[in-house]
Structure 1
Amino acid sequence: MGKGNRDDRLSNLPDDILLTVLDRLIVPNAVRTSVLSRRWSLLPSMLSQLIVSVLDFLPHNGPIFETNEVVQSNRAVVEATTSILARRDSIRNTINLLSITFFLKDGDPISIGRAVAQTMATHKVEMAEFTIMTERDATQCVDDNIASYGKQFILFFDACRDTFSGLTRLHLENLRFGESDITNILILCKRLKDLRLFNCDSGDMTTLQADHSQISVLGIVDCLFSKVILNWLPKLTRMTFEGWIAYHYPLSVCYAPLLEAFNLTNTGLSWHEMIELSKFLHGTSVRDLKLGFKGEKIWVQPECLTKKLASVFSQLRFVNLDEIPEGYELTWTLFILKAAPLLKELYMTVWDHLCKMETDNEKRKALSYSDNKGVEWESPASNFQHKSLVTLTIFGFQSEEYMLKFIRHVMAGL
C-alpha cells in the first residue's frame, strides 16, 4: 500500500478466502476478529470448522488442573460454543467439523450437549467430536475418582442422548462404567467412527465386548479390562491397544477384516504370558504393525513359520518394534521377516528410556518387573531369505556384538 492509502485490502477479500484464514485460527482468536467491523462480526458464525478446546482458554503458565482455572476455562467453552452456534445460519452454512474439548465439570457438559443437539437438529453437521477430560490426570486418579467421574459422565450421557447419537468421534478418560454402559453407548452412538478410551474400566476384571457397524478407529489405552473382544467391527481399520493387565491373551479379534494398522504396546511383567502374534492378528488385514515394549520384558513369542502364520503376516509391509530393551539378543525378530515375505520396512528402537522406566530395584521387585527381559529364538542364518525388505533402521544402534550379529543375519538373507 502506498503512503496514505487507508484501504483495508484484507477486508476486501471474498468471504470464502477470509473464512479459510479464520478456519486456521483457534476459536478465541477467530472470535476476536469480530470487533474489526460489522462484516467481520458475521464471519465466525459462518466457519465450516468449529474447534473449541478448553486448552485454548487455560493460562499458558501454571498447572492446568487448578480448580479455578478449570471452572473459568470450562465456562469460556460453554459461552463460546453456545454463542457461535446460536448465530449460525442453518440454510447457508454447513458445519464440516464441530469439535469440542471440555472438562467433565458440574453442569457445563450438559449446557454444551444441549447447544450441540439444537445445532444438529437444525444444521447439517458432517463430523461432531467430543473430547472429555477430567480434573485429575491418570496419575492422580484413585478408585473413588474414576467411579465419581464415571457417574458424572453417565448423567451427562442420559441428559444429552440426542447429542451422542450424532457424534462421530468420542474420546474419554478416567471413567468407571457400569456393566452395560459401554454397550449402551455403542448402541446409541450409531454414527461413531472414532472411539478412544484411556484409563477406563467397568469394575473388577470385566470383559469389554465391541460391536459397531461404523467404528474405523479404536483406541484402548491403560484400561483395566480383563479382556477385550472385537465381536463385530466390519469397518475397523486402525487400532491402538496399550497397557493390558490380563495374564492370558487380553484381546480377541472375532470379526475385523479391514484392520490394517495395529499398535500393540505393553509393559511386560514377569507373570505376563508370552503372546503368539498369529493368534492376535488372525482374521485381520494388518499391513502396518507397531509393537511397543517400553524397555521391559519382550512379551512376543517367536513362532515357527507355518501356513497359518504365513497367511496372518502375508500383507505386512511396515513393522515398528519400539523401545526394545538394551543388551538382549535381537535375532528373535527374524521370525517376523521369515513370516512376512512382502515386508518393505523394518524399524527398531533399542533404548532403555530411564525417564519412563522404574529403576528402583525394590519397587521393581514389588511390582513384578522381569530381571531377564530378553527372548531367544534359534534360526540358522543359512535358511533365512528375504527378497522384499528395502529399509532396515535401528534407532539407538551401538557397535555391540548382539547388534552386529543381528545385522549379519539380516544381510545374509537379503
Structure 2
Amino acid sequence: MTTSTLPLQSRAEDIHHISPGEIAIGVMIARASEYFDFFVYAIASVLVFPSVFFPFESQLNAMLLSFVIFSFAFIARPIGTFAFINIQRQYSRETKLVAALFLLGFCTAGIAFLPTYKNIGFAAIIFLGLLRTGQGIALGGTWDGLPTLLALNAPKNKRGWYGMLGQLGAPVGFAIAAGIFYYLLTDLSSADFLDWGWRYPFYVAFTINVVALFARLRMISTKEYAHYQEEFKLEPVNAIDVVKHEKYNLIIGALAALASYALFHIVTVFPLSWITLYSTRSASGVLAIEIVGAGFGFLGVLASGLLADRFGKRVTLGILAVLIAIFSEFAPYLMGGEAFKQNIFILVGFTLLGLSYGQSAGAVTANFPRKYRYTGAALTSDLAWLLGAAFAPLIVLGLSAELGLSYVSVYLLSGALGTLAALSVNRTLESKN
C-alpha cells in the first residue's frame, strides 16, 4: 500500500495535533478584530456620519440615511463570499484571506481619510457608500472555516463550550470600540471630535486588521490545518451548487439564528440612536452603560457554552428565543422610560444577546453534507446577518420615530418566532430521516 492510499488517520501520525484550544485562540483573535471593525462603523453611523455626511437633513433623517449605508455591507457580504470562494478554489486559502483582509483594511483606512460633505459635497456620500460596500465584500472573504473546524475537533461533550469561543469576539470587539469612542467623546470638544477625532478608531481598526491577518495566516498556512481541512472535508465548493442543492438547509440555518441576530443591533446600535435623538442623556453616558452591558454579554456567551453542553445547542436556542419574545414585550416600557429603565433594557438585552448569540453560529450546520459544510456555513451566516441584522437599526428607528416604540417589540418578536419555527421544522425533518 502506498503512502497516498493510507487512511487519513494513519497519515496524520507524523503531523502535530492542533488542540481545540489552539484553534480557539485563532478564532477569537479573528472574530474580535472583525467585530471591532464592525462596531467602529456602527457607532460612527450614530454619532458621526449624520453630522459630517448628511448635514442637509434633519437629525432623524440624517441618521436613517446613515443606517441605509450601514446596511450596504450586509447586502454585499454574500457577493464577497461567492467571489472569494472562487479565489480560494483557484489559488489558495492564504491568497483569499490576504486579499480579503487587504480589501477590508483599504476600505477601513479609506473611511478614516474620507473628506466630508462640507469638503466635496455629495461625492463624499458616494465614496462612503462604496467603501462600506467594499467592507461587506471583504467580510464575505474572511471566512476561514475555523469555527466549524473548532466545533468538529472539540470533544463531543464540550462542543457547546468550544463553539461559543469565537462568539466572544462580539462583546470584546464592541467593548473596545465603545471604549475608544467614550474616551474621545469625554476628552475632546464636540467640534474636535466631529472634525478629526472620529477618524482615530478607523486607524486603530486598520492596525488591528494587520495583526489579525498574521495571526490567522500563522494558523491556516500550516500542514496541520491543511490536514484537518482534508479530514473533515472543509474545503470550498461552488457556492451556486450549495444554493442549488442545499437551499432548505441554508434557509433553516439562517432562521434558526434569527432571534439572536434580530436582537444584535436592537441592544447595541438602536438604544444609542434613540437616546441620542430623544433624550438629554450624553452619548458618552450611554456608551458607558453599553460597555458594562458588553461585560454582561461576555458572561452570557460563556454561560451559553455550559447550557448547550448540558441541554443541547438547539434546545438552548429555543429557550432563549422564548425569553427574547418575553423581553420584547417590555421593550417599549423600558426604552420609553427614564434613564434607569433604559439602562435595564440595555443590560438585560446584552445578557440575552450573549446567551443566544453564543450558540447561534452553525446552529444546524450539521445538516449539510460534509462536502457542502464549509461553504454552507459561510452562506448561512451571510443570510442570517442579512435577514436579521442588516436593516434592524433603519427599520426599528424609522418605525419607532413615526409610530411608537411598540415596533421594537414587533421586530424582536418576529425574530424569536422565526427561530422557533425554524427549529421546529428542523426537528420534523430530522425525525423523518
The bucket for the TM-score relative to the shorter chain is under 0.3
Q: TM-score, normalised by structure 2?
A: 0.26
Q: TM-score, normalised by structure 1?
A: 0.27
**Which structure's residues are more often strand, by fraction?**
1
Q: Greater RCO between the two (CA within 8 Å, min separation 6)?
A: 2
**Which structure's residues are more often helix, by fraction?**
2
